[in-house]
Homo-oligomer: A and B are copies of this chain.
Amino acid sequence: MYDLHLSAEQHEIRDTVREFVTNEIKPVAIKPARMESLDRRPPADILLKAAQMGLRTLALSEPLGGAGADGITACIVAEELAAGDPDVAAVLVETSALSHVLFDQLMSPAQRERFLPAFIKDDAAQLALAAHEPDSDTELGVNYHRAVPVAPATNCAATRTPTGDWIINGTKSFVPNAPLATLFAVQVRTDPKAPAGQGISTLLVARDTAGMTVRELDQNAGWYHGLRGDVTFKDTRVPADQLLGDEGSSPLAAGLEALGRGLPLVQAMNIGIGRAAYEAAVDYARIRVQGARRIIEHQAIGTLLAEIAIRIELARTMVWKAAWAADHPAAVAERSVTDLPLQTIARVYTAEAMHQAALDAAEVFGAMGVMRDMPMHKYVQDALIFLHSGMSPGDGKLRIAEAIAEFRRD
């Protein structure tokens, strides 16, 4: 039965995180170097405090020590954190999502026993999924509606030793959380003969494994939020029983998003940026006087603010719908929600709409909208990063178009 009431827990966590953001994150976020994007590294103490509040393990089930948050709750938290600081948000959101996927969904009991206690105990421990490789491209564009695989090639390879252990060689690039992660899920090719996108396995690799090096990337040269690193494996030996799932059919082959819990968390963060810009613009429009009236009383500014509000409301509504649908996959078959890819719809709309929202909000500020020591320019830049990293709106539309045509690339 249709019901849009948030639960008491959802209200509570929203209030709690918002307060945390106001008291702990905002004072850091408005530091000049951070606003000017010279140092966007998430401060360790903030990450620790957030972990102590349970935000690092938000999606991990309660029996395993997490908060067992559902998809909408995770989106609420992601939005609130990003409204304060998207780089802090990106680290926590990634670990939280992976904690559920790895510990609740994919690990064997023995693997869980080996890795969970250390992860729970150490509030600074983050998780990483090493999937992306240098120069990889889905090639969705050129292969739109063509029956060829569009999975990027996996060159990072693992071979078995006679004892069954694995030897990994290769490089993963732009791995989120790599500089902070204590445990990596690494996508490796274990069947050298399989076509692209197949014959892939996932290995669990602890940070201190010999032959593995992590190079933190310069955040400001990159085009992402949070911290990322390149991870290189040189004859890295991983015990046989650290294979996650079955050999040659990685449960993470299609990326984190394609799992049952593939949640629009990045989009929720993106909304956080739009909302921060919007709230700043409304506050300013309520005090700035021009033509002897507060500018919010001018039709032109009022219309601009209304357009931003409409976009945010639409984006959040769609993101929450996609989040709920991810938690309730059966809803598609019983036709309560569309069979088009909702997360992609949410992604395309949110990226474009929040970018416009940030630009429009900056317009309200006049010249102050382009100054590096004011937050507006950073909201615009953050929105651009969301718009132009990961799957582009253009590729998103092609993916939706393939679904409309009921084209399946198997």
Let me know if A224 is at the binding interface, CB within 8 A: no
Q: A309-B340, A310-B400 are in contact. Are A7 and B11 (CB under 8 A)?
A: no
Look across to chain B and name the residue whose beta carbon is closest to the beta carbon of A299: B144
Q: A303-B397, A397-B303, A398-B299 are in contact. Are A2 and B72 (CB under 8 A)?
A: yes
Give the Cβ gap from A18 to chain B, nearest Cβ, in Å: 11
Residues B1 and A2 in contact, CB atoms below 8 Å apart? no
Chain B residues within an 8 Å CB radius of A396: 306
Q: Which of A281-313 contact B (CB under 8 A)?
A: 282, 285-286, 296-297, 299, 301-303, 305-307, 309-310, 313
Let me know if A114 is at the binding interface, CB within 8 A: no
Residues A7 and B2 in contact, CB atoms below 8 Å apart? yes
0/1 per residue, A1-36, Cβ < 8 Å to B? 111111100110000000000000000000000000
Let me know if A320 is at the binding interface, CB within 8 A: yes
Give the Cβ gap from A373 to chain B, nearest Cβ, in Å: 27
Inter-chain CA distance A278–B340, complex, in Å, is: 14
B10, B286, B303: the one contacting A394 at CB < 8 Å is B303
Inter-chain CA distance A324–B1, complex, in Å, is: 11
Residues B340 and A313 in contact, CB atoms below 8 Å apart? yes
Chain B residues within an 8 Å CB radius of A305: 401, 404
Look across to chain B and name the residue whose beta carbon is closest to the beta carbon of A285: B405
Inter-chain CA distance A396–B313, complex, in Å, is: 15
Q: A1-B7, A4-B337, A338-B313 are in contact. Are A297 and B145 (CB under 8 A)?
A: yes
Let me know if A389 is at the binding interface, CB within 8 A: no
0/1 per residue, A164-192, Cβ < 8 Å to B? 00000000000000000000000000000
Most buried by B among A1, A324, A337, A349: A1
Give the Cβ gap from A401 to chain B, nearest Cβ, in Å: 3
Let me know if A336 is at the binding interface, CB within 8 A: yes
Q: A297-B405, A318-B314, A349-B314 are in contact. Are A144 and B302 (CB under 8 A)?
A: yes
Inter-chain CA distance A396–B336, complex, in Å, is: 30
Chain B residues within an 8 Å CB radius of A309: 340, 345, 400, 404
Look across to chain B and name the residue whose beta carbon is closest to the beta carbon of A394: B303
Chain B residues within an 8 Å CB radius of A5: 1-2, 328, 331, 334, 336
Shortest 8 CB-CB contacts between residues of A and residues of B: A302-B401, A306-B397, A306-B400, A145-B297, A3-B3, A306-B401, A6-B336, A303-B397
Contact sample, A vs B, 27 pairs, CB 8 Å cutoff:
A2-B3, A2-B4, A2-B6, A2-B72, A2-B324, A3-B3, A3-B324, A4-B324, A4-B328, A4-B331, A4-B337, A5-B331, A5-B334, A141-B299, A144-B297, A144-B299, A145-B302, A286-B405, A296-B404, A297-B405, A301-B401, A302-B398, A306-B401, A310-B400, A314-B317, A314-B345, A317-B321
